[in-house]
Structure 1
Amino acid sequence: MTDFPILYTFRRCPYAMRARMAVAVSGVAVELREIMLRDKPLEMLEASPKGTVPVLVLPDGKVLEESIDIMRWALAQSDPKGWLGHACQETILVTDGPFKQALDRYKYPHRYQLADGRTHRDAAMAHLAHLNAVLADNPHLGGTQPAMTDIAIFPFVRQFAATDADWFDRLPLPALQRWLAHHLNSALFAQIMSRYPQWKAGDAPIHFP
């Protein structure tokens, strides 16, 4: 077993993105193992049979399988920006629950035997309108600086916007659009979206951040 926590991740997965962002901000070093979802390594499946990312395997053998738990673990080790003090659990739960359900059906309607995803796109809009209203008073959901709530939901708002970027850009959601642009153009997002080779057993460890 390595002395470093092992983080199994997939670059484009929104859950993995938010876990990497929290780890990066915490500065806690992990061994990063980039996987391909169609070719999951046996070592990851032995640690977490459900086979989703991210997965964090701690040196004592404890396994964290939920991205929010990985975020909280990383920030509990080191929280230099005070993210944990600005975590709105309700906003995160709505994003991870009803909003994500609508997003999946909007983005991938054929997976759900739907002719198109517009009904679910419209259902997701209520949450986006709420976020826009909150952001009209503050540049970030955590106040004047980004915090855990912002980072926890940003990858999913990004995914929604990218499904039909032209349509999203025309929406009357200026505060949300500014917020999204800020995070898309941030140094933190650029850092966690660096490309890494697919991990194979026996590879030299890649330490992150």
Structure 2
Amino acid sequence: MKLLRRSARRDSAAIRLQHRAIRQAASLLLAYPDERTPGRLVTVGALLDHITGPERDALDRTASYLHATDPLVVARDYVETFDMRRRSTLYLTYWTGGDTRNRGAEIHAFARAYRGAGVEPPVGEAPDHLPVVLEFAATVDPEMGEQLLAAHRAPLDVLHTALVECGSPYADTLTAVCATLPPVTDQEVQRARHLAEAGPPAEAIGLEPFTLTVPPRRDGSPAREGDRPA
């Protein structure tokens, strides 16, 4: 029995290490494509050597797309996919908080979690941005990172479904990410379905005391009226 328990502990440790590698690779693959992308892909290649099973193949398909596609096309498609379509936003609290003051509190909860683990939230990106959360879960605090991801399983499922439906090469990366989380419950399935059908919550009144900051567009131009808050 002792040998079996030791073997189970080793298996559990190996699974946790693989999950961390998957999340780190996914964080790099979901980052905005820029001049650092080639270096990120080198790191992803090294991480794939430590990942087995269908998750490795899924991540490799996204990486192969980034390797083989013209960088300008990749950047254009990234913006169209994640910045222009509400159903495929990478900001996890957008689906749970929407355009309400609750979203600000949820964003601050991410920031508090980071500070509680001894790191500062990133500069230039919201703390609920999926690549940021994945990097935190992979490299800083795996347990808290998994809690943050699991708490937003419904938005992740909505995002995954949206990417599959539009044929995005990033759908494979979301498949791998979701595979690192506990099995989805019936309640989470229903919640994701409701979010997909009804959209994020919104407030018609009372928004004046709290305003979400709209950052400049990725091409460097200033934000314009109607842009979605980040």
TM more than 0.5:
no
TM-score (norm 2): 0.23
Question: Which structure exhibits the higher relative contact order, with contacts defined as CA atoms closer than 8 Å and separated by 6 or more residues?
Answer: 1
Give the number of the structure whose residues are more often helix, by fraction: 2
